[in-house]
Amino acid sequence: MHIQEINLFRYALPLHHPLTAKTPDPGLRRGYLVHVVTDEGTEGWGDCAPLPGFSPETTGQAEHDLHALRTALTGQDVRKAARGVSTKWCPSVRFAVEQALEDLRGYGDLKQRAPHVVLLNALVDPTEPGWLRRAQQQAAEGWLSFKLKVGRGAVEEDVQNARALRGRIGPRAELRLDANRAWDEHEAQRFAHAVEDLNLEYIEEPLKDPTGLRAFSESTGIPVAADESLAADPAPDWREWAFLRAVVIKPTLLGGIASTLVRIAAARGAGVMPVMSSSFESGVGLRHLALLALTADLGSIAHGLDTGRWFMQDLLEEALATTGGSIQRDALLAPSVQVRRDLLEPLT
């Protein structure tokens, strides 16, 4: 089976809520789709979604590399094409083409060996209208893990939000917090002491200076997780990070499926829980993230893939159904993926 053609598309999807002040147009999620067609008529889709302010590459660099991959891989045997993915291409492009190639291969024997569902943590943003009511409803529907954004305002307000959320979701649900490196040591200690009774699963990136993470966790007794602190390091010394409860893994930033599987194996070897996380990809990318979690046998861990509801429109004809905080494996492995071409602009 050989690659007959590679089609490239742009997309710009409107959002219900702005993503981040770091993006030039926070009301839209912009990206690209890679569409690979073989001489046997099979096709695969991949999502290239560099996130401004977080991804190391610009959209211009991504477009350049997308054109390069089309030239390099057209006509190649599908099995050999994966080995031809250049490490010189930017991370989001490598991830996109690997997604499309995995589509063509059908994710191997995943249907026979993988867990039946992918678990999700509900993403809770206190700037959303009705956020507590939504979280309470999700808990009633069976969601078992929640991740609250903190660090955007006063420490006292974050404490109130964390306590209010714990009250709504009950004592048994996992509660994760994400501070995005917002606090200095004093602020982080104040917050930690005020929520020490909430039975937190972990706080993600509580400190502006990540060198203090170990001491913070040891002094407060609250587990910590890393995201930004390890995202740009292709080969961290896991002996120095074994104190972590979890590491958040974003394949769009890390550079694809192969590098993600290496990162997951290394984290597990150090006793650190790997948590897959979205960079607000479209439904095409979210599907692959969930499949990647299954491929790595991470079905028992709740992953940060509850981002589809941020989109007013999505590229999948049928959005991924999240029932009770999970996505069914068989829905992810549907024989054909229907993409809304009316939302795509050809990239020539």
Could you confirm whether 111 is annotated as catalytic? no
CA distance 322 to 324: 6
Which residues does residue 122 pair with via DSSP β-bridges, in sequence order? 146
Neighbours of 185 (CB within 10 A): 15
Q: Which of 80, 111, 147, 149 is catalytic?
A: 149
CA distance 80 to 76: 7
Both tokens assigned to 44: 């695969």
CA distance 175 to 120: 12
CA distance 170 to 178: 19
Q: Which of 22, 80, 88, 250 is catalytic?
A: 250
CB 340 within 8 A of CB 317: yes
Question: Given the structure tokens 């959209």, which residue do they identify?
Answer: 59
Both tokens assigned to 327: 């996505």
Could you confirm whether 147 is annotated as catalytic? no
Which residues have C-beta within 8 Å of that of residue 114, sequence separation ≥ 6?
A: 294, 295, 297, 299, 329
In order, the DSSP letters of 205-231 are S-BSSGGGHHHHHHHH---EEESHHHH
Name the residues annotated as catalytic: 149, 250
